[in-house]
C-alpha cells in the first residue's frame, strides 16, 4: 500500500462528523489535525468542506482546494445518456458497451464515459484518489437526475490495475488508460493544478508499459490510450487514432 508519511494529513475543522475524519485518517495511516502549524511536515491535507472531501495544499489552505467535480465539463451534454459524438466516443467504439477505466485519477474522463451511458468500472490504485473518488460518486448518487433515472454511480475498485485486470471474471469490450506522462518541457505550458498536485503527491506512472500489456491481455476487443499530443504512442503504432484538443486517443484492437 502506498504510504503518505510526512506528506499528507487529514484536517478536521468542525464540518461534518469528526468520526468520519478519524476513520479516514486511520484508513490512510496519517495524522488527524484540528489546525495546521507552520512547522508541520505535511504539505497536503484532506478535509471536508462545503459538503465535499477536498485535497488542499499548505500554501492554499484558504482557497477552496481540489475536489472530484461531478458536473459535466464545458461543452459536454448534460442529458443522459449524452450523445457519443466526440473523439473519445469514436475511440471507444460504436459497438462497445462495457468499459474499464484502469487509471481513474480525478474521474473526469470516467464521468464523461458514464454520462454517455456505458457500463463502466473504475480502478484507482492511489488510496488518496480513491477516497476523493468515493466521495464524488456518493455526491453523484444524490443528484436529482440520478435519483429520477434510478442510476447507480460507476463501481470503484481500489488497488493495482495490473493485478486487478488479471483477475477479472469477464473481459470488458474496452479498457481505457490515461497514464501520467512527464510534462512537456516548455516554459509557456502551464499544467493544471490538479495534475501538478497529483504528480507531487503520487509521482509519475513508472509502470505504464506493464499496465498497457495487462490491459491488452484483459480486454475483449480494444484498449484506448489517452496521450498528450507530444508523447510517443504507449503501445507502438496504434490500429487507429482520434485527435482531440492537445491530445489524442490511440486505439489498439485485439487480434
The answer on 41 and 141 residing in a single domain is no
80, part of any domain: no
- Residue 37 cell numbers, joined: 502549524
Same domain for 199 and 94, yes or no, is yes
Q: Is residue 68 part of a domain?
A: no
Which range of residues forms the domain containing residue 29?
8-60
- Considering the domain architecture, whether residues 218 and 131 belong to the same structural domain is answered as yes
Q: Is residue 56 part of a domain?
A: yes
The helix (run of H) or strand (run of E) holding residue 115 is helix 108-115
Statement to judge: residues 148 and 193 lie in one domain: yes
Note whether 51 and 93 are same-domain residues. Answer: no
- Classify burial at 80, counting beta carbons within 10 Å of its beta carbon; exposed 0-12, middle 13-18, buried 19 or more: middle
For the chain, helix (H) and strand (E) counts, in that order, are 8, 11
Please give the share of the chain, as a percent, with pLDDT higher than 70.
89
Q: What is the pLDDT of residue 255?
A: 80
Task: Give the total number of structural domains in the chain.
Answer: 2
- Record the pTM: 0.90
pLDDT exceeds 70 at position 23: yes
pLDDT band at 164 (very low <50, low <70, confident <90, very high): very high
Q: Tell me whether residue 59 is exposed, middle or buried, using C-beta atoms within 10 angstroms of its C-beta: 0 to 12, 13 to 18, 19 or more.
A: exposed
Do the domain assignments include residue 74? no
Question: Is 141 within a domain?
Answer: yes
Do 33 and 133 lie in one domain? The reply is no
Amino acid at each position: 500500500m502506498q504510504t503518505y508519511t510526512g506528506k499528507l494529513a487529514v484536517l478536521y475543522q468542525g464540518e461534518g462528523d469528526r468520526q468520519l475524519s478519524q476513520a479516514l485518517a486511520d484508513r490512510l495511516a496519517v495524522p488527524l489535525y484540528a489546525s495546521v502549524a507552520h512547522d508541520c511536515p505535511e504539505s497536503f491535507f484532506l478535509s471536508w468542506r462545503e459538503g465535499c472531501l477536498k485535497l488542499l495544499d499548505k500554501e492554499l489552505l484558504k482557497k477552496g482546494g481540489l475536489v472530484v467535480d461531478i458536473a459535466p465539463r464545458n461543452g459536454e451534454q448534460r442529458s443522459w445518456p449524452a450523445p457519443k459524438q466526440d473523439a473519445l466516443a469514436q475511440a471507444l467504439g460504436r459497438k462497445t458497451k462495457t468499459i474499464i477505466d484502469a487509471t481513474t485519477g480525478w474521474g473526469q474522463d470516467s464521468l464523461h464515459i458514464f454520462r454517455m451511458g456505458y457500463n463502466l468500472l473504475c480502478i484507482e490504485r492511489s488510496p488518496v484518489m480513491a477516497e476523493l473518488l468515493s466521495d464524488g460518486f456518493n455526491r453523484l448518487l444524490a443528484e436529482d437526475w440520478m435519483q429520477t433515472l434510478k442510476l447507480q454511480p460507476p463501481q470503484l475498485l481500489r488497488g493495482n490495475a495490473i493485478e486487478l485486470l488479471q483477475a477479472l471474471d469477464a473481459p470488458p469490450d474496452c479498457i481505457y488508460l490515461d497514464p501520467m506522462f512527464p510534462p512537456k518541457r516548455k516554459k509557456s505550458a502551464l499544467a493544471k493544478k490538479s495534475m501538478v498536485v497529483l504528480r507531487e503527491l503520487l509521482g509519475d506512472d513508472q509502470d505504464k508499459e506493464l499496465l498497457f500489456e495487462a490491459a491488452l491481455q484483459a480486454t475483449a476487443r480494444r484498449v484506448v490510450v489517452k496521450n498528450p499530443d507530444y508523447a510517443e504512442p504507449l503501445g507502438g503504432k496504434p490500429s487507429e487514432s482520434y485527435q482531440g484538443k492537445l491530445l489524442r486517443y490511440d486505439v489498439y484492437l485485439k487480434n
